[in-house]
Structure 1
Amino acid sequence: MIVYFLNAFVVQPWLFKRRYRKFRNVVMSQSTSLFGEYEVVERMKKENKFMSYYLMEDGVKNSEMDIRVVFSGKQPYFLLTSCRAFKEFRDLCPKDIDRWDHSSKSFGRMCVGSLDQIRSNQDWKQRRDAIMKVIGINFSSRFIPLMIRKIKENTNAWKQNEEIDLSKEMQSTTFAIITEILFGIDIKQKIGLIDYKDFKGKVHQINFEQYITTLSKDCFKAKSHPLSILFPFMVHRNLLRPNNIVGENCQNLWRVLSGYLEQNKDDDSVYYRVLANNSSFDKDLLMRDMILFYFAGHDTSSHAISSCIFFMKKNPDVIQKCIEELKVVFGEINADSIGEHLTPQKIDELDYLTYVIKETLRYDNPATMSLGYQAINDVTVCGVPIPKKSKIFLCIAASHYSSKEWKEPEKFIPERFNPESEYFTSPDGTPVGLNVFMPFTFGLRNCAGKSLAMLEIKVVISYIILKYGNKYELDPEQKKNDFIRFGVGSQFKTKITLTE
């Protein structure tokens, strides 16, 4: 056992660092090999910064860096950070680099066999194309009335002069929207309380939304458990209690959802629209694809909306321009009548709001890095050798804050997405690099639900601005903190207070 630990967590990391130290375009994580970036994350929190702010600082301060190497458990992973690295990565996909099966780790436990976990083969393409056909840009507009109804229901409960946890409110709103879109309009009513087992073995009865939220958190906790890191082979063989309990709860989720879908057929749901056009599809796999799309759409939309509302208010000229644009496009209407006017054509006219949303996704993207990939063969990226089976991620945070690609990247400037603005180009006057802005990643495995997500974000923000304008205040401590961000995993939650 001692020999195992010394080799895995001392000798091998030392040999690895020795090999890669010679590459000037590689930044080596200074953390220990056991718990990844835990030390630097804790330092960020103590400095009252967003937990992953150090990745943004990489983009600002290390603009010549192509790769960051992070030690986590037995095997380091490669975090690609530059436009050059992204281009070479894209050229290597999917023959030499492709998604890896993480069905035994984190959120992967909830959607085993889903599109995110299989190679880019013909089966993957057929399933993805079938779903894209139903939630693509040409079909998403039919969900606008549902989006308006859900945000209206939630905001009607907001009260003046009371602090509102906007992060929580938007998570609830987008949860209601995305689950009805994917599974059916009566899912909340038909799925009652569900038995959920905690890590101590105690069973609780909670509702569907609480179940999904709690399970996703427990998946992450199980993945981060010290024993999971020290003995990964025990995770794969289901020998660790936290992972076993997560597995039981995942099985229960599938059973409950499968039962609901068998008994309640909503022909307008994405699940049944896809199945109607592809009767040969495996129902269980399609259901897990829907769970995957739930996470992709729910997290992106809820964080983007609450973050956008925060940074618009923190920059008064920005929210004022949005208010004025809505008046120009829709005339003198209020939030209650927006459903009569909010068409895809009108939404396309909201140019400035689009700039604001894009800048929010650059400045505070919901995810700081992409989902994981794996080197299928030995590859070389920017002159750096990456061995077969190595884990590879795209660093969204470093890319979005690259001082080489963006003018004043640490400032919130929506105009940088306006082709007529001086901020539209990179500092040297050339166009911003291809794939540098990647809130939904890029290439073959980019987010299939990005059109639906962008539509939802625009609809909900338009409704909130029409209803409240700029009559809300931010938490004073949050407002003066220039290092605050609200992406997935953030220790900060967006707080606002409605005013007269």
Structure 2
Amino acid sequence: IRMELPYIWFTVKLLLWMLVIVTAYYLYEFIVKPLCTRKKYSKYANVMIDPFVPVLGGIKYYIKNVEGGKASYAHLVTSADKFSKYDVYMEFEGKFPAFKILSEEAHIQFNKLSDGVNIDRGTEIYSVGKIATKGLFNIRSTENHALRKNTFVKLLGLNFASRYIPMIHETVDEIVSTWKAGSEYKSVLQMNKVTFMIFTKVLFGKSQVC
């Protein structure tokens, strides 16, 4: 037993050091780095910065809206008037800073920084890009992309969209048929399901919907 004690103590110290390292890493990533980034950009009068929320960042507001039965972006409505006074809006999505262009002047300046490069798609590294790989926001601007985009835009017109009315009714019936009497359902979540199914069928066809 005496010979095993040093090994046990060594293991305990190793675990404690690992705990300290992991804790320090997460404190730096989710507390120190966001605060330093906010301090860096707070000196610019034309940059609007979201209130500091540890760990979750702006995601906290989206979660709160959904839990309250509202649209996930409902909190942005109250900030709409403030946006007109700034050129850039910065918020944190978790530990990642997100910059949103608000003014036309900021858009012009951003295009100048791109040095003539045509930025026509997003990235599949974070967020929605990981979920919707090869989606409209990520794929290159080919003829196929133009066709899908035009179809999406035309959906805003009643005459074009009317051809999808039977499919919309069918999709709503599919979702409603899963409801059980006496059970409670979140309206926002159910509408999100309906919307997602409809757009998936329009863009990819019924055969691609599981």
TM-score (norm 1): 0.27
Structure 1 pair 79–5 and aligned structure 2 pair: CA distance change class (3 A): same
Alignment of 1:57-456 (within 5 A): 57-61=78-82, 63-82=84-103, 84-86=105-107, 88-89=109-110, 95=117, 99-103=121-125, 105-118=126-139, 123-132=140-149, 137=154, 142-147=163-168, 167=188, 170-171=191-192, 173-174=194-195, 177-185=198-206, 208=210
Residue 76 of structure 1 aligns to a residue whose secondary structure is: strand
Question: Which structure has the larger Rg over C-alpha atoms?
Answer: 2
Instruction: Return the letter of the residue paired with 2:52.
Output: S
The answer for unaligned runs of 5 or more in structure 2 is 1-20
Partners of 2:190 and 2:31 lie apart in 1 by: 45
Partners of 1:177 and 1:44 lie apart in 2 by: 26
Instruction: Return the letter of the residue paired with 1:143.
Output: Y
* Cα shift readout 1:37-81 (whole Å, capped 9, x = no counterpart): 356x39966xx6956554333223564122232234554221333
| Alignment partner, residue 41 of structure 2 | 20
| Alignment partner, residue 37 of structure 1 | 58
Residue 57 of structure 2 aligns to a residue whose secondary structure is: coil
Residue 23 of structure 1 aligns to a residue whose secondary structure is: coil
* Cα shift readout 1:192-228 (whole Å, capped 9, x = no counterpart): xxxxxxxxxxxxxxxx3xxxxxxxxxxxxxxxxxxxx
Partners of 2:108 and 2:54 lie apart in 1 by: 29
Structure 1 pair 99–144 and aligned structure 2 pair: CA distance change class (3 A): same
Partners of 1:170 and 1:7 lie apart in 2 by: 38
Residue 69 of structure 1 aligns to a residue whose secondary structure is: strand
Question: Aligned-pair distance for 1:17?
Answer: 3.4
Partners of 1:170 and 1:42 lie apart in 2 by: 16
RMSD: 4.9
Conserved? CA contact 1:89–1:97, under 8 Å? no
Structure 1 pair 98–16 and aligned structure 2 pair: CA distance change class (3 A): farther
Partners of 1:37 and 1:174 lie apart in 2 by: 24
Structure 1 pair 69–135 and aligned structure 2 pair: CA distance change class (3 A): closer
Partners of 2:90 and 2:46 lie apart in 1 by: 11
* Cα shift readout 1:226-285 (whole Å, capped 9, x = no counterpart): xxxxxxxxxxxxxxxxxxxxxxxxxxxxxxxxxxxxxxxxxxxxxxxxxxxxxxxxxxxx
* Cα shift readout 1:151-184 (whole Å, capped 9, x = no counterpart): 688889x9xxxx9975466456545544444454
Partners of 1:133 and 1:111 lie apart in 2 by: 18
Structure 1 pair 33–72 and aligned structure 2 pair: CA distance change class (3 A): farther
Number of matched residues?
A: 178
Structure 1 pair 14–127 and aligned structure 2 pair: CA distance change class (3 A): same
* Cα shift readout 1:76-105 (whole Å, capped 9, x = no counterpart): 2213334544565577678275544234x4
Structure 1 pair 82–56 and aligned structure 2 pair: CA distance change class (3 A): farther
Partners of 2:119 and 2:198 lie apart in 1 by: 34
Structure 1 pair 96–36 and aligned structure 2 pair: CA distance change class (3 A): farther
Structure 1 pair 87–53 and aligned structure 2 pair: CA distance change class (3 A): farther
Question: Aligned-pair distance for 1:128?
Answer: 0.7
TM-score (norm 2): 0.53
Instruction: Return the letter of the residue paired with 1:129.
Output: A
Partners of 2:113 and 2:93 lie apart in 1 by: 24
Question: Where is the helix percentage greater, Structure 1 or Structure 2?
Answer: 2
Partners of 1:18 and 1:29 lie apart in 2 by: 12
Conserved? CA contact 1:66–1:85, under 8 Å? yes
The answer for unaligned runs of 5 or more in structure 1 is 189-207, 209-500
Question: Aligned-pair distance for 1:150?
Answer: 5.1
Instruction: Return the letter of the residue paired with 2:49.
Output: M
Pick 1 or 2: higher relative contact order, CA cutoff 8 A, min separation 6. Answer: 1
